[in-house]
Amino acid sequence: MYNCDSGEFDSDYFERGPVVGKSLYTNYRWLPELTIPLAHHIAIDCQLNSDAKVCDFGCAKGYLVYALRLLGYKAYGVDISEYAVSKAPKEVNGHVSCIEPCTSFGTYDWIICKDILEHIPYENIAEQLDVLSANCKHLLAMIPLGDGEKYFIEAYEQDSTHVIREDLGWWKDTFEQSGFKVYYSTHDMGPYKENWQNLHPEGNGLFYLDGNL
């Protein structure tokens, strides 16, 4: 298990990020007009049915979990931030929880990794992906991309917890080395992250993977 300081993801990170130089988040809150459409698109893209068990890995305050549950899906979430999980809506109590890095947190039909894998240290990403691939049938990942030194979208540098700045090919190879089968990867984010897509056509990567469950 790698040493990831969950204390980095505190109230400053989620509520005052730009002011304290930690993140892009300001007053991170429930925005149904954004999160419910996100959940809807994920459900369509992943072809979720009512029996599918879904986990948002790195769920923060659990808003995507809440949105998926509002749409009728069996959604759960995990995160290393005690602060974020403590602020989750009461409607998802019992469905979101804190975990330690690289520990198993159950088995799922789908695991969603939206803007989370880039936070993991290079030396530990394989270990974390091994855990994910062993515990899911499928995984959907959305990841900021870079050239190995800088992100293609400069604003991503403003998050002090971002670590991995690699391109689509690097991530594809890394997923495959951890046992995933990459059945689709693209720079075209479709309905996701449209505001960032306009800044740089290769600024983000979208991956659909088969796990080993």
Per-residue pLDDT averaged across 187-207, rounded? 92
pLDDT of 209 reads 98
pLDDT tens digits, 110-132:
999 999 999 999 999 999 999 99
For residues 133 and 144, is the Cβ–Cβ distance under 8 A?
no
Query: What is the pTM for the complete model shown?
Result: 0.96
pLDDT tens digits, 11-50:
999 999 999 999 999 999 999 999 999 999 999 999 999 9
For residues 172 and 207, is the Cβ–Cβ distance under 8 A?
yes
pLDDT of 2 reads 46
What are the tokens at 128? 């974390």
pLDDT of residue 173 exceeding 80: yes
pLDDT of 4 reads 53
Confidence of residue 5 (pLDDT cuts 50, 70, 90): low
Instruction: Mark out the alpha helices in the chain (DSSP H runs).
Output: 11-15, 17-20, 32-45, 63-70, 82-86, 125-134, 168-177, 194-197
pLDDT of residue 1 exceeding 50: no
pLDDT tens digits, 48-101:
999 999 999 999 999 999 999 999 999 999 999 999 999 999 999 999 999 999
pLDDT of residue 6 exceeding 80: no
Confidence of residue 196 (pLDDT cuts 50, 70, 90): confident
3 Cβ neighbours under 8 A, 6+ residues apart: none
